[in-house]
Amino acid sequence: MPEVSPLRGRLAGVSVPPFVLITGSEGLLAERALASVLAELRHTEPDLEAIRVAAAAYEGGVLGLHASPSLFGGAKAVVVEDFDEGGEELQADVLALVAAPAPDLTLVVMHKSGQRGKKALDALKAARAQVIECPPIKTDRDKADFVAHEFRRQGRKVTPGAVQALVEAVGKDLRELASACSQLVADTVGVVDERVVETYHAGKVEASGFRVADAALAGQTSEALRLLRHAIATGVDPVPIVAVLASQLRTLVKVGAAGRGSSAGIAKTLGMAPWQVDKARRSISGWDGPGLGVAIQAVAAADVEVKGGGRDPVYAVERAILSIAAARRSG
Express each pLDDT in 288-303 by its tens digit: 888 999 999 999 999 9
Residues 216 and 325 both lie in one domain: yes
Q: Are residues 101 and 118 in the same domain?
A: yes
In 3D space, the residue among 75, 19, 90, 72 whose CA is nearest the CA of residue 43 turns out to be 75
2, part of any domain: no
Q: Contact 26/137 with Cβ under 8 angstroms? A: yes
163 and 270 within one domain: no
118 lies in which domain range? 19-133
Other C-beta atoms closer than 10 Å to the C-beta of 14 total 10
Euclidean distance between CA atoms 186 and 190, whole angstroms? 11
- Whether 87 maps to a domain, the answer reads yes
Statement: the pTM of the whole predicted model exceeds 0.75 = no
Instruction: Supply the mean pLDDT for the chain.
Output: 86
Q: Does residue 51 share a domain with residue 144?
A: no
pLDDT on residue 329: 60
Q: Are residues 27 and 115 in the same domain?
A: yes
Domain annotation covers residue 4:
no
Spatial distance between the Cα atoms of 159 and 150, rounded to a whole number of angstroms: 13
The answer as to whether 180 is a domain residue is yes
How far is Cα 238 from Cα 250, in angstroms, rounded to an integer? Answer: 19
Is there a single domain that holds both residue 182 and residue 280?
A: no
DSSP state of 70: P
Residue 190 falls within a domain, yes or no?
yes
Q: Is residue 13 assigned to a domain?
A: no
331 residues of the chain, pLDDT tens digit each? 444 443 333 333 345 689 999 999 999 999 999 999 999 999 988 989 999 999 999 999 999 999 888 766 788 999 999 999 999 999 999 999 999 998 889 999 999 998 889 999 999 999 999 999 999 998 888 999 999 999 999 999 999 889 988 888 888 789 989 999 999 999 999 999 988 888 887 666 566 788 888 889 988 899 899 888 888 887 788 888 898 899 889 989 998 888 888 888 888 888 887 888 888 888 888 888 889 999 999 999 999 988 886 678 899 999 999 999 888 865 4
